[in-house]
Amino acid sequence: MTAISALGLFALTAVAEIVGCWLILQAVSAGKPWWYWLPGTCSLLLFAWLLSFHPVASGRVYAAYGGIYVLTALVWLRVVDGIRPVLADYFGAGLILLGALIIVAHHWPRKEAP
């Protein structure tokens, strides 16, 4: 798996998690119909399934995925919730993404030298 395809998979995984949580939150606290639980649950199952496709040990996947999740959550905040992130949001996301990059770069599967 290339780094670009892994980033795409991380982003898709993050969207599945955020959508699932958001739908269930809408049913529980925003007075939306009970059936929001069904697509929310399906989205969270998709999230868990997508995590199984990442190429490194699960703990590292979760740590690296966290950086992409935070970035995706800030996009969600702006696009869906209509709230503009502030400087602290961008700074925090940058630090988290740097940590995720360090984890991925160090542990990414490599071809052994001949």
* Cβ neighbours for 22, distance < 8 A, ≥ 6 positions apart: 40, 76, 80
Sign of CA dihedral 16, 19, 22, 28: negative
Which 8-state DSSP code applies to residue 3? Answer: H
Question: Residue 82, by phi and psi: left (phi above 0), alpha (psi -120 to 50) or beta?
Answer: left
H-run or E-run covering 52: none
Q: Which domain holds residue 19?
A: 3-107
Residue 97 lies in a domain: yes
Which 8-state DSSP code applies to residue 35? Answer: G
Residue 114 lies in a domain: no
Residues 35-54: what's their mean pLDDT? Answer: 93
pTM of the model: 0.80
Residue 34 lies in a domain: yes
Instruction: List, for residues 64-95, the tens digit of each pLDDT value.
Output: 788 888 999 999 999 999 999 999 999 999 99
